[in-house]
Structure 1
Amino acid sequence: MIPRPTRSSQPTTTETDARVDVLVRRQLLHAVVLTPTRQWLVQESPDGLVRVLATPADVLALTATIQQRTRSMRPESR
């Protein structure tokens, strides 16, 4: 896998919201809510614990972990 270049700026709330929306629609996350205090509440499964993430960068790190996990579970096509 080719490593991605590091970001030159912090992720925006809009970018983060778009990414988590896709993960919720694809049922890779159960729920994600942005609170008025700008923290994110994330629940991976209906009966799972709710995690509090402080910044959009924390949420994007979680989404990257989920994407890595789903890619590693796919059978390789050659």
Structure 2
Amino acid sequence: MNPRSLRSSEPATAEAGAWADVLVRLQLLHAVVPTPTRQWLVQDRPDGPVRVLASPAAVLPLVATIQQRTRSTRPECR
């Protein structure tokens, strides 16, 4: 039996990249690009300003904010 690896408190670059791909694919963001310094460049619209996120960990709160905004504007279907 293999021991389960524990998740570190710092999200992996791969996790942040996966979320970034989803947000761009769903057209919720225009671009999300990692840099060699572990910063991430984020652009909401093609003509919008570029924001700099300090690390992969900073991508996850952005994802949460977008999810919350998307869910709060979606009509209830229950």
**TM-score, normalising length from structure 2?**
0.86
C-alpha displacement of 1:14: 0.4
Distance across 1 between alignment mates of 2:36 and 2:56: 14
C-alpha displacement of 1:36: 1.1
Q: Any residues of structure 2 matched to 1:58-73 within 5 Å, and which?
A: 58-73=58-73
C-alpha displacement of 1:8: 6.0
Q: Any residues of structure 2 matched to 1:1-78 within 5 Å, and which?
A: 9-78=9-78
The structure number with the bigger radius of gyration is: 2
Q: Which runs of 4+ in 1 moved over 2 A?
A: none
Distance across 2 between alignment mates of 1:8 and 1:47: 36
Distance across 1 between alignment mates of 2:13 and 2:21: 12
Structure 1 portions without partners, runs of 5+: 1-6
Q: Which amino acid aligns with 1:16?
A: A
C-alpha displacement of 1:29: 0.4
C-alpha displacement of 1:49: 0.6
